[in-house]
A and B are shown apart, each in its own frame.
Chain A
Amino acid sequence: MAPHPPLGYNTYSVRAMRWNDLQLLEYGSRLKLDTVYLQDSVDPANNDPAHWKLLNETAARLGLVVHGGDAGALPRTPDGMDATLNRLREGIRHAVGMGSKLVRFRVAGDRASLPPGPVEKTMETMVNTLRRVRTEAMDAGVKFAIENHKDLFCWQTRQVIDAAGKEFVGSYLDTGNPVFVMEDPLATVETLGPVAVMLHLRDSVVYETPDGVAVQWVPLGEGTVDFKKIIAKAREICPEIGVFNKPITGRPPQHLAIYDPEFMKSWPDMRASDLARFLALAKKGHPFEGHMVIEDVPGKPAAEIAAALEYQQRDHMERGLEYGRKTLDLGVKWRNS
């Protein structure tokens, strides 16, 4: 990765603003960013090829590199496979239309949402699914970016990418999700960094509780994870990729009851050495002692609280970008202003 890789933001982080795609690009431009990752767009024109063209032109005018194809996740049952393949193909068209080289794809939302059966079987299905659209992706010059969500361990995601083919599949490397699979994010970067096609930064507090570990996402630079080490490792092993700030704050801590055998039944494939490394991280951590509007939970909040959450999403985005520039020395465009 370049010493000063392009710095951008993931639009999911400001979802409460309900901005359309053009507003999101303009926001990125105002922040003097180099790149924008459009994720989970709420723009009514999201599926309109004319809109994709407009995005491409707007991004060029604003001097932004924009990415944003999305193909969802694997189906839970085989009868959903045709729809999944259609989404993958549509994702390619979408990416090409807006000038993106990447299409996001996931195995599942989390471990509980994985298709029934052994994890190895799901990984095999993932590989086979990707290979069925290999030609279309290669012809379009687009890569599938597999996000390490809360589903697989990083070494499993790496196996999927290697088995499918690195020429058209890479890692959407996320540093926030690993703590939910009891993985040190630095280990994730070490494993997925060489095949990463983009890097999304999200910090977490991780700390021990009497019967396990609690995790919570926090603004970049305010958590337990050492991002100076993360970026140093990324500079060492990642290809030339963009780095995106992707805070998801406002959610309560989640407890991982690792000393409860029932809880651990969902993780039979976890390696002891990985868990030990995660525990070492947790021993360094403590609960988040800063202030935060913790209201990103199901249900409709009061108007005043929803407004506070909106404000916070922007505030945490901009705080994290400042940390990315000043402490992690990321980004290009801001240096010229």
Chain B
Amino acid sequence: MAGMKNAGMLRRTFLRAIPGAVAVAAAKGAAAGAPIKLGFDTYSLRAFKWKAPQLLDFAAEHKLDTIQISSLDDYESLEPAYLQRLKDQAARLNIAIDGGTGCICPSSQSFAKTGPPTAEERVLQGLRVAKAVGAKSMRCYLGSSRDRTGDLPIEAHMENTIKVFKNVRSQAIDLGVKIAIENHDGDMQAREVRTIIEESGKEFVGSCLDTGNPLWVVEDPFVSLETLAPYVVTTHMRDSIVFETPRGAAGQWVVLGDGIVDFAGFVGEFRRLCPTASMQLEIITGRPPRAIPYLEADFWKAFPKASGAEFARFVALAKRGHPYMGAMVVEDVTGMKKPEILNEALKEQQRLDLIRSLEYAKQKLNVGINWRS
């Protein structure tokens, strides 16, 4: 990838480096086709602690078409009048909202201690809020990689999730909001997510396709797309670096265009296979490379049923990669107490990296509608 070698420079030079008309013409040539709505997942700007109205304003400022408000914490209130005002604000700004909530699997280690007592109530709460702000989908997730190595096998968590979804089927259909289950933080491979969708009922459950998380389940993001394409309703698009190490590989998330995923090819396929889904960027930089030790036998205890053919595609991806050579404030480490000065740097990086990724999506991938006018 050309972007890798000079990525350190890119944050500081990217916007100046592309004359608008030239870049748009090049992008159109590279990825022509049906327009795709461009937006972002609010998690990308989490350090700002902005609430939904500010996040919508940010989306408007950058001439985006959509936003995924992926957490109920992004709202100042869940009162109908407040949500109606948000819906109106979004309509005024010509921005479509995708809704979202958190973990909805009652047996998962990620299932929050606070919130409505049952998983069904959590799903319904998310669906009702989504409906109130005019969303057609509501992102949620099963858990994380910890659920692959706990007391219960992942299949048990999947069964529990399917049961929850089936229990809310009629309400979800009545609300007209699709549940969009995400392949999240190493919890499931795409084929497992597809099983949940098909077993629950594809008429009311779809996929929130995340392109960064497949790394943690040794999956090439193209495999995730190919597997989930018929069910994708919303997305988390994010670029990654993967490279071989003595233990297997290591992965790190980077700004869109700086990684080794062929996003021009990916978006071409996405445009063809998922023409109505929105492209929400979920940019998560600032984290150190994460080990994917697939050459160690213990690693495979979490993936006893993984496909060899799919794994081979992941290895091929890792073989193409190098460590990230660009600039990055790598200080987003879970559980680490940081001085305020580093928090401020991370915060500014979140803003800059999201903007640079959005520009890449517009100029290089020819995605988005509102920014053209």
Query: Are B330 and A299 in contact, with the CB atoms below 8 A?
Result: no
Tell me, in angstroms, the Cα distance from A298 to B330 when the chains sit together: 18
Contacts of A308 in B (CB 8 A): 329, 331, 341-342, 344-345
Q: Is A311 an interface residue (CB 8 A)?
A: yes
Decide yes or no: A290 and B288 within 8 Å by CB, A209-B243, A304-B345, A308-B331 being known contacts.
yes
Min Cβ gap A217→B in Å is 14
Min Cβ gap B77→A in Å is 31
Contact of A293 among B243, B246, B330 (CB under 8 A): B330
Total A-B residue contacts, Cβ distance less than 8 Å: 110
Tell me, in angstroms, the Cα distance from A290 to B329 when the chains sit together: 11
Tell me, in angstroms, the Cα distance from A20 to B118 when the chains sit together: 63
Decide yes or no: A299 and B342 within 8 Å by CB, A252-B324, A293-B329, A293-B330 being known contacts.
no
Q: Is A307 an interface residue (CB 8 A)?
A: yes
Query: Are A297 and B327 in contact, with the CB atoms below 8 A?
Result: yes
Min Cβ gap B133→A in Å is 32
Q: Which residues in window 112-134 of B have CB below 8 A to A? A: none
Tell me, in angstroms, the Cα distance from A208 to B246 when the chains sit together: 8
Tell me, in angstroms, the Cα distance from A288 to B7 when the chains sit together: 18
Contacts of A208 in B (CB 8 A): 245-246
Q: Would you give the 0/1 interface string for B326-353, flagging 1 where the beta carbon is closer than 8 Å to chain A?
A: 1111111100100101101101110010
Q: B333's closest neighbor in chain A, by CB?
A: A291
Query: Are B8 and A297 in contact, with the CB atoms below 8 A?
Result: yes
Q: Which residues in window 295-321 of A have CB below 8 A to B? A: 295-305, 307-309, 311-312
Query: Are A254 and B325 in contact, with the CB atoms below 8 A?
Result: yes
Tell me, in angstroms, the Cα distance from A299 to B12 when the chains sit together: 6
Q: Would you give the 0/1 interface string for A268-292, flagging 1 where the beta carbon is closer than 8 Å to chain B?
A: 0000000000000001001111111
Contacts of B328 in A (CB 8 A): 252, 294-295
Min Cβ gap B349→A in Å is 7
Contacts of A311 in B (CB 8 A): 339, 341-342
Decide yes or no: A209 and B9 within 8 Å by CB, A283-B246, A295-B329 being known contacts.
no
Q: Is A130 an interface residue (CB 8 A)?
A: no
Give the residue among A302, A307, A312 with the most B Cβ atoms within 10 A: A302
Query: Are B288 and A293 in contact, with the CB atoms below 8 A?
Result: no
Q: Is A141 an interface residue (CB 8 A)?
A: no
Q: A311's closest neighbor in chain B, by CB?
A: B341
Query: Are B245 and A286 in contact, with the CB atoms below 8 A?
Result: yes
Decide yes or no: A300 and B12 within 8 Å by CB, A293-B345, A294-B327, A311-B339 being known contacts.
yes
Query: Are B345 and A255 in contact, with the CB atoms below 8 A?
Result: no
Q: Is A116 an interface residue (CB 8 A)?
A: no
Query: Are B331 and A293 in contact, with the CB atoms below 8 A?
Result: yes
Q: Is A72 an interface residue (CB 8 A)?
A: no
Q: Is B98 an interface residue (CB 8 A)?
A: no
Tell me, in angstroms, the Cα distance from A157 to B348 when the chains sit together: 44
Query: Are A210 and B244 in contact, with the CB atoms below 8 A?
Result: yes
Contacts of A283 in B (CB 8 A): 246
Q: Is B319 an interface residue (CB 8 A)?
A: yes
Contacts of B327 in A (CB 8 A): 252, 294-297, 301
Tell me, in angstroms, the Cα distance from A296 to B339 when the chains sit together: 19
Min Cβ gap B245→A in Å is 6
Contact of B319 among A210, A287, A297 (CB under 8 A): A210
Q: Is A253 an interface residue (CB 8 A)?
A: yes
Contacts of B342 in A (CB 8 A): 293, 308, 311-312
Decide yes or no: A214 and B289 within 8 Å by CB, A293-B329, A297-B327 being known contacts.
no
Q: Would you give the 0/1 interface string for B292-333, flagging 1 where the beta carbon is closer than 8 Å to chain A?
A: 000000000000000000000000000100111111111111
Decide yes or no: A304 and B348 within 8 Å by CB, A209-B323, A255-B325, A299-B12 being known contacts.
yes
Q: B328's closest neighbor in chain A, by CB?
A: A294
Contact of A294 among B243, B329, B352 (CB under 8 A): B329
Q: Is B369 an interface residue (CB 8 A)?
A: no
Query: Which residues of A are interface residues toward B (Cβ below 8 A)?
Result: 207-210, 214, 252-255, 283, 286-305, 307-309, 311-312
Query: Which residues of B are interface residues toward A (Cβ below 8 A)?
Result: 7-9, 11-13, 243-247, 250, 288-289, 291, 319, 322-333, 336, 339, 341-342, 344-345, 347-349, 352
Provide 8 A-B residue pairs closer than 8 Å at the C-beta atoms, listed in order of the A residue: A252-B325, A289-B289, A294-B8, A295-B329, A297-B9, A299-B8, A308-B342, A308-B344
Given A293-B329, A299-B8, A304-B347, 5 extra CB contacts under 8 A: A207-B245, A286-B246, A299-B11, A302-B352, A311-B341
